Amino acid sequence: MRIRNRPRASGDIPDASMSDIAFLLLIFFLVTTTFEVQKGISFKLPKKPDSETQEVVIDETNRLVMTIKQWGAHEYVALIDQAPPEGPLQRARAGEDVSLQDTSLHNGIRTLASQRVEAMSASLDRLLSNLQVAKGVPSGTYSSLETAISAENLVPMVRPGILRTIMGSRIPLEMDPIFGEIAFGDTLVLSDVRQGEIASVVRESELVVILKFFPDCDYEGMIFALDLLRLNGVSRTGVTIQERLGGDA
């Protein structure tokens, strides 16, 4: 009788499928793992200029350029570098400094600003645009300012400006069918009975005044010069710092 040997169990672990398991685990971790991405500094590139982009050029007849200098603790002067031709300050372009407290300088700036007051239609268009922004409605929702006032049940009113106080009856008035008498520098207001003031706009001048300050002009002098323009009806200003190139000019 022949006795067969029984197969004995081996202690080895089969590893034939380990490569498949490792591959599946690798795919799992690649899919589920999140990586921290450093965004760096965010910035927005300027738009590419097109043929329709136009440079804004200020008309020479609407530009007044003054250099502001400090002569003392509370004394400031202006040198008229450029003035509208044939205007009240054209004669001041003789290289002489004028005190910022000089009444002739105030009157000249006020005259230039009042001669270049924007058209009433431009003021009303800006007021309509401000109203649409305040109401949160798209541009062009109202066909006219009269339609908007009627639709929203608004009350138009005029808030007198500083120039009315300074010039009194000498300030020219313009009649408008909605607001009545309007002077240069007045504020046109649209108000609601419950919410109060909704939108407003100031009757501005197209005169642009550029102030050039020397670095040694203190803060008080800058505020004094800006207040001078505001009190005389100028709202469009530009400010630059003028470098000294030797001497006092």
The answer to whether residue 47 scores a pLDDT higher than 90 is no
Higher-confidence residue of 21 and 198: namely 198
In this prediction, residues 38-60 reach a mean pLDDT of 58
Share of residues in the chain with pLDDT > 90 (%): 31
d(CA 21, CA 171): 93
Domain check: are 163 and 195 in the same one? yes
Q: Given pLDDT bands bounded at 50, 70 and 90, which one contains residue 133?
A: very high
Domains of the chain: total: 2
| Range of the structural domain that residue 127 is part of | 120-202
The answer to whether residue 154 scores a pLDDT higher than 80 is yes
Domain check: are 66 and 181 in the same one? no
d(CA 64, CA 76): 18
d(CA 169, CA 177): 21
- For 4-65, the DSSP string reads PPPPPPP-PPP-TTHHHHHHHHHHHHHHH------------PPPPP-TT-------GGGEEE
Structural domain includes residue 26 = no
Local structure of 115: helix, strand or coil: helix
Local structure of 177: helix, strand or coil: coil
Structural domain includes residue 52 = no
Q: Given pLDDT bands bounded at 50, 70 and 90, which one contains residue 34?
A: confident
Domain check: are 107 and 220 in the same one? yes
Structural domain includes residue 2 = no
Domain check: are 159 and 220 in the same one? no
Structural domain includes residue 54 = no
Q: What is the pLDDT of residues 160-197, one digit of tens each?
A: 988 888 888 888 889 999 999 998 889 999 998 888 89
Structural domain includes residue 221 = yes
Domain check: are 132 and 163 in the same one? yes
Tokens of 91: 């004669």
Domain check: are 186 and 168 in the same one? yes
The answer to whether residue 90 scores a pLDDT higher than 90 is no
Domain check: are 186 and 215 in the same one? no
Q: What is the largest CA-CA distance in the chain?
A: 143
Distance of CA 182 to the CA centre of its chain: 26
Domain check: are 91 and 131 in the same one? no
* Alpha helices (H) along the chain: 18-32, 103-115, 120-135, 145-152, 162-167, 219-231
Q: Given pLDDT bands bounded at 50, 70 and 90, which one contains residue 89?
A: confident
Distance of CA 99 to the CA centre of its chain: 30
Domain check: are 73 and 144 in the same one? no
Domain check: are 124 and 198 in the same one? yes
Domain check: are 126 and 148 in the same one? yes
Element (H, E) at 78: strand 76-82
Domain check: are 216 and 195 in the same one? no
Query: Are 210 and 237 a contacting pair, CB within 8 Å?
Result: yes
In this prediction, residues 137-164 reach a mean pLDDT of 90
Structural domain includes residue 21 = no
The answer to whether residue 103 scores a pLDDT higher than 60 is yes
Between β-strands 236-241 and 208-213, what pairing exists: parallel, antiparallel or unpaired?
A: parallel
Nearest to 81 by CA among 69, 73, 70: 69
In this prediction, residues 62-69 reach a mean pLDDT of 90
What confidence score (pLDDT) does residue 53 get?
Answer: 52
What confidence score (pLDDT) does residue 146 get?
Answer: 93
Nearest to 214 by CA among 188, 181, 247, 185: 247
In this prediction, residues 33-51 reach a mean pLDDT of 60
| Tokens 């649209």 found at | 190
d(CA 224, CA 231): 10
- Is pTM beyond 0.75? Reply is no
Structural domain includes residue 156 = yes
Q: Given pLDDT bands bounded at 50, 70 and 90, which one contains residue 130?
A: very high
Structural domain includes residue 73 = yes
